Amino acid sequence: MVETSELVHYKSRFFDPKTLIVAVSQSGQSAEMVRLIEVNQKRAAVIAVTNTSESPLALQSEATVLTWAGDEFSVSCKTYVTALMALKWLGHVLCQGDTRQARQELEEAAPAATTYLANWKHMSAP
């Protein structure tokens, strides 16, 4: 795992056909993601995990996993959680894991989060 700005500025050796870059970005249009696409120049394959289908990252990647978290109005909480879920699923796909089991586990996440949030005061009380 490498921070995008570190990859772009200090790890250019990773931009080669043997590398698969999984780039995660809520908007897919931050300066780091745009620079990643520019520096890479299609040398390494890129899978985008993003909430924005028309972003430079999504449009210039070999594959895109859209999180469909909806609009954010503050801190990117929804897209953070959905990106984690997308990465879990993508990990199973790339490593030839049991995607059916991963999907079942992910389907249980929303009700679990709903229950947790409904009882947040009890969960955070000393």
Q: pLDDT-derived band of residue 4, with 50, 70 and 90 as boundaries?
A: very high
Separation between Cα atoms, residue 69 and residue 45, nearest integer Å: 25
**21 contact partners, CB below 8 Å, separation of at least 6:** 7, 14, 36, 40, 44, 45, 46, 47
* Tens-place pLDDT, residues 50-64: 999 999 999 999 999
How many alpha carbons fall within 13 Å on the CB side of residue 126?
0
Which domains are present in the chain?
A: 4-119 (3.40.50.10490)
* Tens-place pLDDT, residues 63-109: 999 998 888 777 778 888 899 999 999 999 999 999 899 999 999 98
Q: What is the pTM of this model?
A: 0.84
